[in-house]
């Protein structure tokens, strides 16, 4: 990890607070700045973490900025976790006309105050929010990173580990496209250790139900949602890994939502692809050689994102 950084977090409910806790637990920040419309909440979260500072590996400053978004301008990374989670109990699309609109309440103010860092946005629908953030800030698209299918890919590894019995750490498999129900598993590039899934099946005698595994990865988050009305541990660790890749300039390769430019004929939306994450944000986008079936799924998921973008744009008219 490189030099310590300053991170701002907008939205201090479940996910935003857990991102802060992960960063403090890893000792990768020197300063956290909190903003939330619920000023009592942001103050409470800051105070709680300061109370816990003796238990973190490194002392860091935690500053409650309430609704003074301009105070985030000096941060290296800003995490956007501001959303309407209660609306998405069964589908992230339910936030489509609500959460992207929040961007206009804080992004222009932060940009006017001189922010030049990198945004990592978690709020749903992630791809629509990322695109709106890019429009509202006018920043280079590579500096707007949606957490995208980084989380869903962890769910895919969970599903494959369940199906095979192998350690999830030995599984390398990614979901691509929308962070939502139209996403798809890129099975053509999945591996366990250095073996393809086909090789594992042939040598272990295990037959993998790919459709069931993809279904578990796509909808698994809603098992969590139904039980506690939010997801928090998994998404916060996915987001924190992205933040740490920017702060440490680690060149992490992971699936995140980025502006798509002529990928199998698709352009102009945010969608998840394998990306290199470093100090400048998304420093390179890799385009995997997809199977014909996966190309169809890529077009379908991007069409769904485009439909959501159009619906949100129409709501502003």
Catalytic residues, by residue number, are 179
What is the strand order of the sheet 144-146 is part of?
A: 61-64, 29-35, 5-10, 77-80, 118-121, 144-146, 252-259, 270-278, 281-285
Please state, in angstroms and as integers, the Cα–Cα distance from residue 281 to each residue in 86, 90, 258, following that order.
30, 31, 10
Residues 6 or more apart whose CB falls under 8 angstroms from that of 183 comprise: 149, 152, 175, 176, 177, 218, 272, 301
> In terms of Cα–Cα distance, which of 273, 277, 235 is closest to 253?
277
Chain Cα centroid distance, residue 228: 20
- The residue with tokens 């959501």 is 308
Are the C-beta atoms of 238 and 152 separated by less than 8 Å? no
Between helix 126-137 and helix 99-112 the angle, nearest 10°, is: 30
Q: What are phi and psi of 266, to 5 degrees?
A: -105, 135
Rounded Cα gap, residues 102 and 64, in angstroms? 20
């Amino acid at each position: 990890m490189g030099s310590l950084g300053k991170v701002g977090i907008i939205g201090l409910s479940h996910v935003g607070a857990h991102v802060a806790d992960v960063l403090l637990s890893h000792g990768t920040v020197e300063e956290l700045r909190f903003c939330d419309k619920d000023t009592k909440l942001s103050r409470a979260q800051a105070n709680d973490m300061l109370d816990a500072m003796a238990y973190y590996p490194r002392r860091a400053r935690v500053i409650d900025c309430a609704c003074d978004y301009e105070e985030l301008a000096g941060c290296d990374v800003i995490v956007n976790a501001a959303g309407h989670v209660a609306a998405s109990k069964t589908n992230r699309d339910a936030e489509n006309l609500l959460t992207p609109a929040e961007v206009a309440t804080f992004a222009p103010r932060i940009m006017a105050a001189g922010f030049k860092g990198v945004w990592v946005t978690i709020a749903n629908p992630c791809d629509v929010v990322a695109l709106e953030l890019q429009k509202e800030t006018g920043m280079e698209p590579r500096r707007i990173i949606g957490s995208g299918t980084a989380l869903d890919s962890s769910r895919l590894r969970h599903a494959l580990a369940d199906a095979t019995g192998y350690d999830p750490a030995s599984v390398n498999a990614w979901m691509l496209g929308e962070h939502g129900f139209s996403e798809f598993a890129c099975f053509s590039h999945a591996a366990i250790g250095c073996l393809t899934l086909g090789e594992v099946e042939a040598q272990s005698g295990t037959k993998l139900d790919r459709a069931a595994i993809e279904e578990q990865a796509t909808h698994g988050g809603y098992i969590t949602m139904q039980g506690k009305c939010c997801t928090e541990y998994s998404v916060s660790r996915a987001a924190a890994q992205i933040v740490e890749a920017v702060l440490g300039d680690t060149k992490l390769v992971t699936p995140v939502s980025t502006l798509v430019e002529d990928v199998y004929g698709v352009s102009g939306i945010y969608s998840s692809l394998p990306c290199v994450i470093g100090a400048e944000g998304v420093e390179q986008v890799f385009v995997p050689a997809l199977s014909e079936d996966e190309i169809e799924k890529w077009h379908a998921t991007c069409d769904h994102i485009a439909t959501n973008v159009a619906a949100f744009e129409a709501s502003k008219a």
